[in-house]
Amino acid sequence: MVMHRMNLIIQPILRIPLNKYWEILMRLRILMVPLNRIHHLRGPTQRAEIGNNSLTVEQNGGMGTLGNRSDMYQNGHEDSPLLMGMVVQVELESEVRETLLSRCTGLSNLVEWLDGIDYRPGLNELHHHLSSGKFNHTALKECIDYADEGYQRNIIKKTEFYELVAISWTPGQETSIHDHTGSDCAFLIVEGISTETIYQLDSEGLAEPVEVRTYLPGEICAAEEPDIHKISNNEKSELINIHVYTPPLHAYNTYVAAS
């Protein structure tokens, strides 16, 4: 009787194709990954959902949570879109934020405008207010930091309507290929040279590069919700950008490059 029951269990398993075993194991693995790291994610797209202190990645129906503090890490296998997009997130302490805003009129004016409107601003408005501000580079650099693990998101202020972030890169760091699900984004290059690679999806859902743009200090890059791109620091110097997301970036999809 026991052997008969075992055969009833084993025989259906033996009929599962080998490629299906891998998919099942990967789904189970995603559910059991450590809180600060995720490995061997496969598939053309992954969805990341951002909380105040965590990043959750969903891929092929599985979920994994990255980060249980103020840090967010994305890591992966060589064929994972997360490999080259490691990120650390830090929220500025209130005292540091107030000091920064008092020393940087460009930021304080931007925050005052964002706090004073009751609608979602368009990219043209964001472009105007970012380009018209004067930003104190010294004060900004004293209040933010860089991370060895990956580029760093220094959250200056976040409300239900917008998110203001200073993102800092050391040479060679870059984001994953991603979109901005549910949010528009505009950012000002404060220091360094920012490279944007724009992608379109092919018939298999893989990301094909179609254009590369470079932005110098004082220039602005803007991306709407469906735009798929990657931001990188390809220079030998550090890079700082001021990003405004409207509404705050709660989730995004990452993509595998076609190459």
The DSSP-derived string for 102-128 is HH-HHHHHHHHHHHH--S---HHHHHH
What would the pLDDT profile of 145-199 be if each residue is shown by its tens digit?
Answer: 999 989 999 999 999 999 999 999 999 999 999 998 889 999 999 999 999 999 9
Q: Does residue 100 sit in helix, strand or coil? A: helix
For 192, other C-beta atoms within 10 Å of its C-beta total 21
* Per-residue confidence (pLDDT) for residue 150, from 0 to 100: 94
Is the pLDDT confidence value at 210 over 60?
yes
CA distances from 198 to 74, 207, 209, 210 (A): 21, 9, 6, 6
183 is written with which tokens?
């949010």
Using CB atoms within 10 Å of the CB of residue 17, give its burial: 0 to 12 exposed, 13 to 18 middle, 19+ buried: exposed
Q: What share of the chain has pLDDT > 90, as a percent?
A: 57
Confidence grade of residue 50 (pLDDT, cut at 50, 70, 90): low
- Residue 14 phi, psi dihedral angles, 5° rounding: -65, -20
Give the largest CA-CA distance in the chain.
Answer: 80
DSSP state letter for 16: S
Q: What is the pLDDT of residue 113?
A: 97
Domain annotation for the chain: domains and CATH numbers: 1-259 (2.60.120.10)
Q: What's the mean per-residue pLDDT of the chain?
A: 76
Average pLDDT over every residue of 9-30: 41
